[in-house]
Structure 1
């Protein structure tokens, strides 16, 4: 069966949302929507140049907790996922190899173009370029897979084999590289240079804690991405049977001696010998969602990246409202929309085995209008085993 592409241009999407919003708005508000727009409100008062400086940047206020002393990562960042405000950061724009956290950008780029319900029979040529030592979900040439199964292989098993197949369906390896570069620029992620979409070590391939947080925040706003990255366990098909796979993000699953982080909504971890351990994590408490990125801890062993992310999440929830932002993850266009009260609300996680519904909220002055239910999918859970390899 041929893969069905689903174009999702920003102009078409914007027009569609505007039409739906006008239909659902009460008559007085709908009329106001056609009137002359009000002057934009000032953007939040912070100096984005702080994030351009080396070292740790924070602006504590009265009652703010001290930053954790046990964070050894070369680069890290803590931000509010809803507002995009950066609460603190260390070497935010330092360019470092990202490992498999780059798969977050791959997903943001390719997910909109591929029909998750379509099936594809994998060829040997699609698997021939997978790098030695790669993490794999176990795709076999000659077998047919749903695109949704391949995505679970990316998010849970960090399968480079799944990335290679999906990149082929997306138009090819090099076309996907170019699309990812363009997507990073569109999101305002200027530190990222993509060479290998799966995050495999490649000369010149870099990102930053700032850019990884940008990708994580954008992923939470995408219903498919948010569902996949929050899935702890699933089953992967293998002909007439299937086997369990488990998310390698240990803060999500509570594995290998790493305690599960309460309220974690996932995103993506990574490791290569060149990049060290990298991680994008997001968690929710009450009405606040934080996103944290950590790149290459220098102390504490292989699982230190999870404990350092835990410390930063704990700090962020305590510090929220007690620190002034040191920058923003929002692009200039997003900042303009935010100033006019049009920022989308952060997505909320749902427990396992529940119907998962994502909604988009748009503010109009003091009113908040529901403009569409995007997606509803039921998750499955299972006991698991994890293929070996890089993450």
Structure 2
């Protein structure tokens, strides 16, 4: 919610990390993907280049796709509809926060409060994106998660990590969770996605993180929130009420900021930018009962908002192709969910993939009353067939307690 070709993790120099989209830094001669990559999810996903099965009624892929890696999948069935260097290990930037959230969200009630100690905010990389958490102030867990999802605040990430016995333990738990999800391209060094040597993931793994996180209702709510009020500093005047300030989601495909057209039916999930990663983005949207998930990593185009434009065009293609194209692989389920089949054993369509989907678009209001589109993904179980073949019974899989 395998057989993996081993490869040495690339080493990347630390650099300032910003969640909002930027121009990025691209080499004069972009690197080529490895000749052999992981085959988790299917053999074709381990091949370099674009993987898609052409056929009658299958639309042509969008032109001008410049991302080093991308993947389009049916979020409910897990079928990978098309991919480009899906398992290329690349720096993930703040999209790694999806794994952070999926690992820690179940641990703390949203109403729990925490007073921030100075040590909680230590260790953040220079130039980190911040929501404005202040030491010696008290915040609810809900406040902190809004800071993570909307402003990609590394300060909020570090405070939540401190509540979880520190950054080192949090990184270990994130890595263990990634391994359980069969996200074997991922090596976690920091919980916030800041550029560090050896910290990598892939478009395939980021899609696994999103699909797993979306099983959690709080994750769905936070990632689809457009704007909210964040607590300000406690007033010095005795008896004065603590104020707040508005924060807005940095996902421009969700908010429509900076000239980007909001994507109809979009429900999150996370964008990112660092010097080494360039722009990264994972998004999920619902249309006519289908739910399509895309991940785009590091477009080379210098066009403004290229990552959003390429993600939008891939979403359009996914909705047009879903149900018509033969999948080239699948998003595998977690090991802990009981799958006994080798992860890359089959790239065939999931049983029931052509059946109707009950997910519906509903109005989900953010904390400031701004309406957004989110997914009504309710109930459902992951069904295991005889030899361990998986399919989502026309609903999202749900982890126990999520």
TM range, smaller chain: 0.7 to 0.9
Contact in 1 for aligned 2:181/2:334 (Cα 8 Å)? no
Deviation at 1:302, TM superposition (A): 4.8
Q: Distance in 2 between matches of 1:356 and 1:326?
A: 26
Aligned to 2:293: 291
Please report the RMSD computed on the Cα atoms of aligned residues, expressed in angstroms. Answer: 2.9
Aligned to 1:213: 207
Q: Distance in 2 between matches of 1:299 and 1:122?
A: 41
Q: Secondary structure at the match of 2:82?
A: strand
Contact in 2 for aligned 1:114/1:170 (Cα 8 Å)? no
Deviation at 1:336, TM superposition (A): 6.3
Contact in 2 for aligned 1:98/1:270 (Cα 8 Å)? yes
Deviation at 1:361, TM superposition (A): 1.6
Q: Distance in 1 between matches of 2:169 and 2:121?
A: 17
Aligned to 2:101: 107
Aligned to 1:140: 134
Aligned to 1:193: 187
Unaligned runs of 5+ in 2: 1-39, 235-241, 342-348, 366-370, 386-392
Aligned to 1:69: 63
Q: Does 1:351 align with 2:363?
A: yes
Aligned to 1:271: 273
Q: Secondary structure at the match of 2:135?
A: coil
Counterpart mapping for 1:288-367 below 5 A: 288-331=290-333, 348-353=360-365, 359-362=378-381
Q: Secondary structure at the match of 1:281?
A: strand
Pairing partner for 2:82 from 65, 83, 88: 88
Aligned to 1:246: 248
Deviation at 1:174, TM superposition (A): 0.6
Unaligned runs of 5+ in 1: 1-45, 376-391
Aligned to 2:261: 259
Contact in 2 for aligned 1:214/1:329 (Cα 8 Å)? yes
Q: Does 1:59 align with 2:59?
A: no
Residues 184-222 of structure 1 show CA distances to partners (whole Å, capped at 9, x for unaligned) of 111111100000110000000000000011111112211
Contact in 1 for aligned 2:171/2:191 (Cα 8 Å)? yes
Pairing partner for 1:151 from 142, 145, 164: 145
Residues 254-296 of structure 1 show CA distances to partners (whole Å, capped at 9, x for unaligned) of 0001110000010000000111000000000021101100000
Q: Secondary structure at the match of 2:229?
A: strand
Q: Distance in 2 between matches of 1:278 and 1:264?
A: 17
Aligned to 1:26: none
Deviation at 1:303, TM superposition (A): 1.2
Distance 1:190 1:124, change over 3 A: same
Q: Distance in 2 between matches of 1:258 and 1:209?
A: 22
Contact in 2 for aligned 1:86/1:328 (Cα 8 Å)? yes
Aligned to 1:50: 44
Aligned to 1:232: 226
Distance 1:251 1:98, change over 3 A: same
Contact in 1 for aligned 2:188/2:199 (Cα 8 Å)? yes
Deviation at 1:227, TM superposition (A): 0.8
Q: Distance in 2 between matches of 1:218 and 1:303?
A: 27
Distance 1:315 1:279, change over 3 A: same
Q: Secondary structure at the match of 2:269?
A: strand
Residues 221-269 of structure 1 show CA distances to partners (whole Å, capped at 9, x for unaligned) of 1111111101111110113011110000000000001110000010000
Deviation at 1:306, TM superposition (A): 0.3
Deviation at 1:350, TM superposition (A): 2.7
Q: Distance in 2 between matches of 1:348 and 1:72?
A: 32
Q: Does 1:123 align with 2:117?
A: yes
Q: How many residues align?
A: 326
Q: Secondary structure at the match of 2:381?
A: strand
TM-score (structure 1 length as normaliser): 0.77
Structure with greater helix percent = 1
Deviation at 1:339, TM superposition (A): 7.5
Distance 1:346 1:169, change over 3 A: farther
Deviation at 1:301, TM superposition (A): 3.5
TM-score (structure 2 length as normaliser): 0.75
Deviation at 1:152, TM superposition (A): 0.2
Q: Distance in 1 between matches of 2:332 and 2:152?
A: 27
Runs of 4+ residues deviating >3 angstroms: 332-341, 345-349, 354-358, 362-365, 367-372
Residues 5-42 of structure 1 show CA distances to partners (whole Å, capped at 9, x for unaligned) of xxxxxxxxxxxxxxxxxxxxxxxxxxxxxxxxxxxxxx
